Amino acid sequence: MASVFARQCLRSCTTSLSSRTLARPTLPHSSRLASFPRRHYSEQKKEEDKPPQEESKSQKEQQTPQKDGANGGEEKLKAKEAEVSDLTSRLRYLQADFLNLQRNAAREKEQTRDFAITRFASDLLETVDVLAIALKSVPSEALQDANSNSASQPSSSSSTQKSPEAYLKELHHGVEMTHRLLLQTLFKYHVKPFDPTGDQFDPNMHEALYQAPIPNQEPGKIIDCQKIGYMIKDRVLRAAQVGVVQDTS
C-alpha cells in the first residue's frame, strides 16, 4: 500500500511540473541578455590607475604649449611696440626736417628778394659818388653870390640875359635833385648810407685809406671819411673809406 501511494504522489508531482513549464512563456535571447546587468568600462579608470608621475608629466606637457604660446605672443607684442616707436620717432624727425626745410626755403627766398639788386646797387653807387663830388665842387659862397646877383637883377630881364652865377645855381640845383632821387630810390630797396666819422674803426665796415698821428685823440678813431659807406639791410654793401688815428705808443 505504501508503495502504491508513493507512486501516485510521484506522478502527481511530475504532472504539476510539466504543466508549469508549459504555462511559462519563453523569452527571446536578446531580452535575456538585457535582463543581466551591464558593465560600463571608461577611460577614467585608466587615468585613475596611472601613477602620479605620469599625471604630472601629462599636466606639464599640457601647460608647456600654453606657456610657449603666451611667451610668443608677448614677444610679438614687444616687437610691434618697438616697431611703432621707431616709426613714430622717424616720423617726428621727418616732420622736423620738413619744417626746417620750409623755414630755410622761406629765408633764402626772402634773402634772394632783398639782395637781388646788390650788384646793380653797388654799380649805381659810383654814379651817386660822382654826383656828390659835383655838389661838393661848388662852394656855398658861390651859391650865395649867385642868389644875391639874381635878386639884384630886374625881373623884366629875359632868360638870355642871366648871369653865369644863375646858370651855376640852376645846374647845382639839378644835380642836387638827381642825387636826392637816386638816394631815395636806393632807400626804397633798403640801401642806406652811413658816415662813420668819429666812430671806432671796424674792419668789417670800414676801409682805412691812411693813418695819422693826432695828439689827444684815441687810437683807432675815424677822423675823416673820403667815401661814405652803404648798407643793404644788415649787410655791408660797400665799406666806408676813412682815415684813422694812428697809435703812437
Count CA within 13 A, CB hemisphere, residue 151: 6
What the block records as the C-alpha cell of 59 is 599636466
**Identity at 119, one-letter amino acid code:** R
Residue 153: the pLDDT is 58
* Chain segment 27-49, per-residue pLDDT in tens: 444 444 444 455 554 555 454 55
* Chain segment 66-86, per-residue pLDDT in tens: 666 667 778 888 888 888 999
* Chain segment 84-132, per-residue pLDDT in tens: 999 999 999 999 999 999 999 998 888 787 778 888 888 899 999 999 8
Q: Dihedrals φ, ψ of 222, to 5°?
A: -85, 125
* Chain segment 191-212, per-residue pLDDT in tens: 999 999 999 999 999 999 999 9
Whose cell is 650865395? That residue is 144
CA distance 34 to 38: 8
Q: Which residue has the higher pLDDT, 65 or 88?
A: 88
Give percent of the chain above pLDDT 70: 65
**Which letter, b or e, does each residue of 137-167 get, where b requires 16 or more Cβ atoms within 10 Å of its Cβ?**
ebeeeeeeebeeeeeeeeeeeeeeebeebbe
Three-state DSSP state, 56: helix
Pairing of strands 206-212, 240-245: parallel
8 A C-beta contact, residue 142 and residue 168: yes
- For 80-116, give the DSSP string: HHHHHHHHHHHHHHHHHHHHHHHHHHHHHHHHHHHST
Q: Where are the beta strands (DSSP E) in the chain?
A: 191-194, 206-212, 222-227, 229-232, 235-238, 240-245
Three-state DSSP state, 192: strand
CA distance 225 to 242: 4
CA distance 16 to 6: 16
- For 143-157, give the DSSP string: HHHHHHHHHHS-TTS
